[in-house]
Amino acid sequence: MICDVFLRSYASDLSWVPYALRSIHKFVTGVRDIIISIPPQDIDVFGPLNLTRERLVPSKVPEGNMDGYAVQQLDKLIADFYTGAELIMFWDSDVVAVHPFCPSDLMIAGRPRCLITPYSVLVDAHGQQATPWKAIVEKALGRTVEHEKMRQHVFMTHRDALAGLRDYMEKLHGCTLRDYISAQGRAFSEFNLLHSWAYYFAPHFFSFLNTEDGVPEPYVKQYWSHGGITPEILAEMEKLLA
């Protein structure tokens, strides 16, 4: 199956993108296109990157009064609008590959893998939920969920899973996915929702791995873009990509 990389970015994360791309070129094989979706107003800002292999495209999400954080989440859930590839590998601006891998390394039994962790173990010292996602995903899906499902970058999905999720959400909530996400402010988690929907309603899209049984070594390292590229991070990334 053909796999494309989908990277959603924006002007504030521009400084991270060259390192993300260098790492893909160095370590990732077996992918066709690298698609970078950005807000239309940021097109000129990304021009100096002098992209060659990559396709820079304006986001197809009409922002309106929608929060930018929500816009980038929705863009990932309509990634199939940007590519005809059967598989879509999602990448963030502050994610850097650290080991060689290809799409088949992210698959089990012919399906993209999805790591999951029981919410019962994701609690603080007082026994309270250590993440906010459980209630947020339960509201979106209209049912209880038992696992956190956004455990390890990078994520990969079959394009049909995105269409299936959108159809489910529209039927359940009586509105477009965009309208639902817009109404939530920042109380939304795109991959937790996608993976939880598939877990309960379309399990054929993924192979689910419980992290209580072991965690595979990650192929990438995720930084924190909002913290900026410190001299220490810069030195580390340059060493990784030398």
Q: Residue 131: what pLDDT?
A: 87
pTM for the full predicted model:
0.95
Q: Residue 123: what pLDDT?
A: 83
Closest CA to 21 of 47, 52, 59, 58: 52
CATH number for the domain including 203?
3.90.550
- The number of domains in the chain is 1
Q: Residue 91: what pLDDT?
A: 98
Residue type, 88: I
Cα angle at 172 between 67 and 149, to 5 degrees? 65
Here the tokens at position 36 are 């970078």
Q: Residue 128: what pLDDT?
A: 82
Per-residue pLDDT tens digits of the chain, which is 242 residues long? 999 999 999 999 999 999 999 999 999 999 999 999 999 999 999 988 988 889 999 999 988 888 889 999 999 999 999 999 999 999 999 999 999 999 999 999 999 999 999 999 888 888 888 788 999 999 999 999 999 999 999 999 999 999 999 999 999 999 999 999 999 989 999 999 999 999 999 999 999 999 999 999 999 999 999 889 999 999 999 999 99
Distance set, CA 114 to CA 18, 145, 152, 156, 195 (Å)? 27, 15, 8, 8, 7
* Strand 3-8 with 87-92, pairing: parallel
Q: Residue 53: what pLDDT?
A: 83
Handedness of CA 36, 87, 167, 147 (dihedral sign): negative
Closest CA to 6 of 39, 30, 40, 38: 38
Chain segment 83-135, per-residue pLDDT in tens: 999 999 999 999 999 999 999 999 999 999 999 999 998 888 888 887 889 99
Q: Residue 157: what pLDDT?
A: 98
Q: Residue 127: what pLDDT?
A: 81
The tally of CA atoms less than 13 A away on the side-chain side of residue 211 is 19
The range of the structural domain enclosing residue 90 comes to 3-241
Asked if residues 108 and 209 have their Cβ atoms less than 8 Å apart, the reply is yes
Chain segment 181-190, per-residue pLDDT in tens: 999 989 999 9
Distance set, CA 112 to CA 103, 109, 194 (Å)? 8, 8, 13
Task: Report d(CA 158, CA 88) in Å as an integer.
Answer: 6
For residue 6, the cross-strand partners are 35, 90
